[in-house]
Amino acid sequence: MRVLILGGDGYLGWPTAMYFSNRGHEVAVVDNFLRRQMHMERGTDSLTPIASLHQRIQAWKEITDKTITSYIGDLSQWEFTNQVFAEFRPDAIVHYGEIPSAPYSMISVQHAVQTHQNNVIGTLHVLFAMRDHVPNAHLIKLGTMGEYGTPNIDIEEGWIEIEHNGRKDLLPFPKQPGSFYHLTKVHDSHNIMFACRVWGLKATDLNQGVVYGIETDEVNMDDRLLTRFDYDESFGTALNRFCVQAVAGIPLTLFGKGDQTRGYLNIRDTIQCVELAMLNPPKDNRMRVFNQFTESFSVRDLAYIVRDAAAKIGIEVEIAHYENPRVEMEEHYYNPTHTNLLDLGLKPRYLQESLVESVIQRVVQFKDRIIPDAIVPRIRWKGGEQPNKVGIIEMEPPASEPTPAGD
């Protein structure tokens, strides 16, 4: 297949590009290097040293004798997006090409507007380019479980049957996003849903949980093929941050009580989910939604998992509780459905089986690149940036060991 990967220089985009190229697909990537620019703005960087996209593609060619085509430009510019689709004419579009940071979107009005312009306008341009050039192509869009928020009912996969005043209908599941970034994902979902209904496009919205790890078969071929590992407050996940803090000897930064619960999955499983979606396209023009994660953990569970994993290689970890900079429920019900990808054949990997090998040992390898000042959270949901308050609080371990969410 001809596979176009938007955001192909990114954390997920680059490993996905290599994976599909290695399996014989004709792959092209699109990127405007915005993530690299935003790190320069914030004074942060990937823990792993990442080569330029040109160097990566050249290294991939030398190692495998396979070619990845690149288009350098901005999806929020219609002329560029139109040209890419007219030239490459993809069978499938894997859309990672968005600013993926809740904290970044909450810094200021300028950052919120930039996030909306980049994400919403870029996706609209992609939809129009599909309509005009490849109306039979399949859009595989990376959404987020954060679109749903934390409702006090089970979260269905995108749609929910509602009975009201004696009548029933299948409607989009209600959205309660937790940041201006998550709002852009909701806008994307609505725009994609509309384009599928009106223009007959095919789309799968992958509402993904938090991804961890950088190890894939292709990444492990050569360090020139490394993907990025972000741990700063803008772009790093809590799990990445905890692993870096453990290696650096910094107390793990739990926000508030640490009972916030989310879904997680290994980077290899993200790519597996994208491939399953691509090889099994929708049969109709209703936007298909998959909830994409394999396990659920509270942030406090993660802290104890990291502490125990680090102890296996002789690292002692301390846990700290920070004033929560976000506006969110810290204790809540969380039970999302995630059966569609399992039904298609997803074979999950589990965090406690791979954390040391896939994350912590890589952090140890590049520990000299850690920027300690980039870790402490300063971005506040209620406005601006300011120092965070921290106190070391002893807390009891979870009552039971975390278990995989479908077990």
Catalytic residues: 144, 181, 185
φ, ψ of residue 65 in degrees (nearest 5):
60, 30
Contact (Cβ atoms closer than 8 angstroms) between residue 318 and residue 252: yes
φ, ψ of residue 10 in degrees (nearest 5):
-90, 180
Structure tokens given for 250: 């910094």
CA distances 379 to 230, 400, 404, Å, are 16, 33, 32
Nearest CA among 32, 36, 42, 38 for reference residue 121? 32
Nearest CA among 282, 262, 278, 261 for reference residue 270? 278
Kindly report each contact of residues 216-222 with a partner whose C-beta sits within 8 Å and lies 24 or more positions away, as own/partner. 216/15, 216/18, 216/19, 216/267, 216/268, 216/271, 217/19, 217/22, 218/15, 218/18, 218/19, 218/22, 219/15, 219/18, 221/63, 221/64, 222/59, 222/63
Hey, which residues does 2 pair with through a beta bridge? 26
Distance CA 80, CA 85 (A): 9
Distance CA 136, CA 92 (A): 9
**Residue 227 DSSP label:** P
DSSP 372-397: GGGTS--B-TTSSB-PPPEE----PP
